[in-house]
Amino acid sequence: MAALLPSPVVLLVVGLAGLLTIACRPTTQPPEAVPGNALPGNFPTPWYALNQNPPNQAAFELGKQLFYEVKLSRDGSVSCGSCHRQEAAFAQANQSFSRGVNNRLGVRNAPALQNLRWRHSLLWDGGVSNLEMLPLAPLTNPVEMDESLDNVLVKLNADATYSQRFAAVYGAGPITSQQFLRALAQFTASLTSANSRYDHYVHGERGGTLSIQEVRGLQLFRKSCAGCHATDLFTDESFRNNGLDASFASDSGRAHITDTPRDRGKFKVPSLRNVAHTAPYMHDGRFATLGQVLAHYDHGVVASATLDPQLRQADGRLGIPLTAKQQKDLEAFLRTLTDTSFLSDPRLAKPQ
């Protein structure tokens, strides 16, 4: 009789098994409510960890509303989404410089916003160190939104809908700058692009086929470009002078942040994901096409004291020698980095 009694240990085991069953149950889950919650297997460890601002649907939706909110600008004319457009991987297509309030012209090309969770520093010169603080730069820049954090909070606190939505996520009370910045980061951290044909190719998945030309391009890329455009994020997060100019009087790049002469003319190596949709290229948007960019590396590189050593060949030649055929191969490969699902994901689009 006693042998039939479940002992506490057995109960415990059964209980644990129950828990495990729940955790490990194979799922046909609906699409994530918060996009970008999953960390792609071919990416390194994220810099802005999930647990720093745990993804939450209400906070994400609030962050999205703020991203597309024109109240963030002084005169209500522009939002983040005005210059960071989803169809261009959250860059601005065909604009070297974007327009801020009063139609003021910016001084650098609006960079794509994607895979920001993995970025060690933000902006072309790396001036911002934490994703949550990123919005303060465009918000306060006179040629962008020309607004103060104080005034944005006044406007948001005066809006009953925002008050309710913030209270629902962060609890009752006036909206604080910390809540505002963390809500925006819920959206910007969700902009993960890892679903290109190239990704399916590396994962050996269905639909992951590359043409012979694209594979040639990939091989050449790994040999000649991946020194800077490293890992499957296609950037090593460093700052480099890629030989655009002989001097940098109008924009010293990284040196603007570090006040160090050896950083003059260096800019953040950009990711190349969705690069076919983020034209124009470079920090000043000087190149309109990928063909022009590749031609620059072949024969346009200009010498200066801080030119990246990888752009000086052993024979003294500058740049990366590329035949016309090689340039075509590289361009074909770069187009496999387009992630159509990211560019058209309705969850990232402006709320109706």
Partner 1 sequence: MKAFATASRFCQLGFALCMLVSCKDTQQDEVLAPPTGKVVLEFDHVVGNQALDLETTTYTNAAGNPFTVNTFNYYISNIKLTQADGTVWSETESYHLVKESDASSQQVTLQQVPAGKYTRLTFTIGVDSARNVAGAQAGALEPRNGMFWTWNSGYIFTKLEGRSEQAPGNKALIFHIGGFKAPNNTIRTISPALPGNAPLQVQASHDLQVHLKVDVLGMFNGPTPNDNIDFRTLYDVMGGREAVRLADNYAAGMFRIDYVK
The contact set with partner 1 (CB under 8 A) reads 5-8, 11, 52-53, 127-133, 136-137, 139-141, 149-150, 153, 176-178, 180-182, 185, 256-260
Q: How far is the CB of 259 from partner 1 (least distance, A)?
A: 3
Query: Which residue lies nearer to partner 1 by CB, 7 or 21?
Result: 7
Query: Which residue lies nearer to partner 1 by CB, 131 or 218?
Result: 131
Q: How far is the CB of 171 from partner 1 (least distance, A)?
A: 13
Distance CA 224, CA 190 (A): 31
Q: How far is the CB of 54 from partner 1 (least distance, A)?
A: 13
The Cα-based distances of 152 to 41, 185, 352 in angstroms read: 38, 16, 22
Q: How far is the CB of 7 from partner 1 (least distance, A)?
A: 8
The answer to whether 93 touches 279, Cβ cutoff 8 Å, is yes
Q: Is 307 helix (H, G, I), strand (E, B) or coil?
A: strand
The Cα-based distances of 291 to 194, 196, 285, 321, 331 in angstroms read: 24, 21, 14, 14, 7
- Sequence-ordered alpha helix ranges (H) in the chain: 8-24, 57-67, 80-83, 136-140, 149-157, 160-170, 177-188, 197-203, 212-224, 255-258, 290-295, 324-334, 340-343
Query: Which residue lies nearer to partner 1 by CB, 8 or 204?
Result: 8
The Cα-based distances of 95 to 92, 285, 305, 320 in angstroms read: 6, 7, 30, 27
Query: Which residue lies nearer to partner 1 by CB, 98 or 336?
Result: 98
Q: How far is the CB of 176 from partner 1 (least distance, A)?
A: 6
Query: In what helix (H) or strand (E) does residue 116 lie, and over which residues does it extend?
Result: none
Query: Which residue lies nearer to partner 1 by CB, 54 or 321?
Result: 54
Q: How far is the CB of 21 from partner 1 (least distance, A)?
A: 20
Q: Which residues pair with 122 in a beta bridge?
A: 128
Query: Which residue lies nearer to partner 1 by CB, 73 or 196?
Result: 73
Query: Which residue lies nearer to partner 1 by CB, 176 or 313?
Result: 176
Q: How far is the CB of 338 from partner 1 (least distance, A)?
A: 31
Query: In what helix (H) or strand (E) does residue 33 lie, and over which residues does it extend?
Result: none
In whole angstroms, what separates CA 204 from the centre of its chain? 25
* Residue 27 amino acid letter: T
